[in-house]
Amino acid sequence: MPRICCPRCRRPESVCYCHDLIAHQAPVDLLILQHPDESRHALNTATIVTLAVDNAEILVGDDFSSDSRLLKKLNDPDCQPWLLFPKGGAVSLATVANAGQGDKKPLFILLDATWRKARKIYYLSTCLHTLPAVQITTDKLSAYRIRKVPAPGYLSTVEAAVEVLNAFDHDRAACERMLTAFDRLIGNQITAMGESLYAKNYGNEPIG
């Protein structure tokens, strides 16, 4: 008998993580460029963002150079795009938030992939190269406990989105619900793995 899945998060009902996520309009638009491998990953965190933010959208691919949907947004005169990517010349998120955007609405573009594949998306997608870049300056350790990260400050997509939303004074409770859903998603997976397998593969990561 097939498992019954939640129609929103597409996880089995027994491990649904989205029941308290309510979509809100955010003060900034979020566009997530998602690698195809990530779109097929049951534990991708971009879904949490789109379930919680009305004006968040996911595009799937690895080369967006000629993607008409992305190019339309980049050429919108009422939009100020920012690429969330730690490249040379990137300014801090706090600097961007404090400076204001005038009459233009900020659009933050996030790359949803492993770090290696995120760099591939960037280098293939030449339309991203001329965008002003912003980076999150933090020493936080990601709570994505079932993926190894290179160092503190390397955040999952949902954690990065929450950093952006908080910087622009989005509803704090809504942001907390996103992180709660993320913690539930990861916690459910660790429970399913069992402590011994988790400790074997991620021995240096805290269980909770």
* DSSP notation for 155-201: --HHHHHHHHHHHTT--HHHHHHHHHHHHHHHHHHHHHH-HHHHHHH
Cβ-contact 167, 97 below 8 angstroms: yes
Q: Choose between 198 and 186: higher pLDDT.
A: 186
| 63 within 8 A of 44, measured Cβ to Cβ | no
Q: What's the rounded Cα separation, in Å, for the pair 76 and 174?
A: 28
Helix (H, G, I), strand (E, B) or coil at 17: coil
| Residue-level pLDDT at 208 | 42
What percentage of residues in the chain have a pLDDT greater than 70? 88
What pLDDT does 206 receive?
45
Band of residue 1 on the pLDDT scale cut at 50, 70, 90:
low
Q: Tell me 10's DSSP state.
A: -
pLDDT at 149: 66
Supply the pLDDT for residue 2: 73
118: left (phi over 0), alpha (psi -120 to 50) or beta: alpha
Of residues 132 and 152, the one with the higher pLDDT is 132
Tens digits of residue pLDDT in 25-37:
999 999 999 999 9
Separation of alpha carbons 94 and 24, rounded Å? 22
79 CB-near residues (< 8 Å, 6+ apart): 29, 73, 104, 105, 106, 107
Q: What pTM did the predictor assign?
A: 0.89
Query: Over 90: is that where the pLDDT of 42 sits?
Result: no
pLDDT tens-digit map of 134-174: 999 888 877 776 666 666 667 999 999 999 999 999 999 99
pLDDT 10s digits, 69-115: 999 999 999 999 999 998 889 999 999 998 877 789 999 999 999 88
Quote the CA–CA distance of 141 and 153 in Å, as a whole number: 6
Report the run of H or E that residue 133 belongs to, with start and end: strand 133-135
Pair 101, 81: CB distance under 8 Å: no
CB–CB of 140/155 below 8 Å?
A: yes
- Least confident range from 33-37, 59-63, 162-166, 192-196: namely 192-196
